[in-house]
Amino acid sequence: MDMAKKIMELAEKYRDYTAQNLAKLVKIPSESMKEKEVQLELKRQMEEAGFDEVKVDGLGNVIGRVGNGKRVLVIDGHMDTVGIGNRDNWNFDPYSGEIKDGFVHGRGTVDQEGGPAAAVTSGRILKELGFDRDVTFYVVGSVMEEDCDGLCWNWLIEEEKLKPDFVISTEPTNLNIYRGHRGRMEIAVDFRGVSCHGSAPERGKNAVYMASKVALEIEKLNERLKDDDFLGKGTVTISVFESGSPSMCAVADFVHMHLDRRLTWGETKESAVKEVEDVVKACGLKLGKLNEGGEAYVYVMHYEETAWTGMKYGMEKYFPTWKIEPTEHVVTTGVDTFKELFSKEPKVDKWTFSTNGVTIRGKHGVPLIGFGPGNEVNAHAPNEKCPVDDLVKCAAFYALYAYKI
């Protein structure tokens, strides 16, 4: 019997096991910085599956290892989820983990605890087959991705010194192979006006009017940003617009504007900041720090929070664009793995949203593809559910990929 057939049979054998493991994870609420209990459950599942080593790092990522070869393959999936939003929009308990009609139901099934649950089964399959390739197979259940994508992998590479040769992201791909997505960054613009009594606004300088002119020009900026044949167009939108004044009867003397900037191929942090600065200057405002005489200050925001372990960690909120050429080994191996398992050609595509790939590939240059259970349209949405068939196929894919890479 060939290896692909053996692995597929084992993945089918563990169909219920994989679904039940995911259900156990889903039953534990695990928003960013509150992942402790779900991480301990994932660690238990890896140990039960017979992984050679399982540990929790300083940031709270769970790292499971099978094998001890020279080349390092990591299967990554973040274990934190977003909240449930309006409970009335759900047709079932978001934390039920119910297995029904071929789906596991609940928050996190697609985005994205389904991937790690399938990867645990992959590790079990490799142990059962006596995996003997010169490859170390890791499964990483990462943390804080929903709050700051890539932060966990900045920690893993720079602090834990885990530098893989290849990574598969288990973010949802609808069983397609993904090879890139746009980057993103969070840009802030602060405006300083001069307050005065609202009965005589001509005495002051209204920061809202200053910022509004810039806002309208940013809307126009969005129309002329770069495009890429594969990744699509760069975009910018204003997501927060907050003003302040001494009272409701005074001219506003401060505005904070938050921009969600999506970066396509060829766009950089520097180019994106300069575009906004040029808009500000074109509106006749003096650029510079507000406490140094500037009327508008443009800057990239910074993230820093405390993980469930108590570790405080942060990074600049710039998440580079990345893509992998379809001819690269990490992609062609994925295509060959898919064809051997499922006897058809895979669709090779990209994500709409952002993933840990911004750090793994975008910042650190590690070859990366995506292959995960569920459809990304269900991410962050009510009535989230993941097909059990997808879990089975992903478990087989990750295991066979380890033999082929």
What residues are annotated to the active site?
A: 80, 145
Task: For residue 319, list its beta bridge partners.
Answer: 184
Count Cα atoms within 13 angstroms, Cβ side, for 172: 22
189: helix, strand or coil: strand
71: helix, strand or coil: strand
Q: For residues 191 and 214, what is the distance between their CA atoms, to the nearest angstrom?
A: 10
> Are 72 and 161 within 8 A, CB to CB?
no
Tally of CB atoms within 10 A around 320: 20
Nearest C-alpha neighbor of 17 from the set 116, 120, 167, 138: 120
> Are 126 and 66 within 8 A, CB to CB?
yes
Length of the chain: 405
Alpha carbon separation from 43 to 29, 48, 202, 391 (Å, rounded):
16, 9, 64, 19
Q: Tokens 């196929």 appear where?
A: 393
Alpha carbon separation from 53 to 57, 69, 138, 200, 308 (Å, rounded):
13, 14, 9, 71, 22
Label each residue of 145-174 as H, E or C: CCCCCCHHHHHHHHCCCCCCCEEEECCCCC
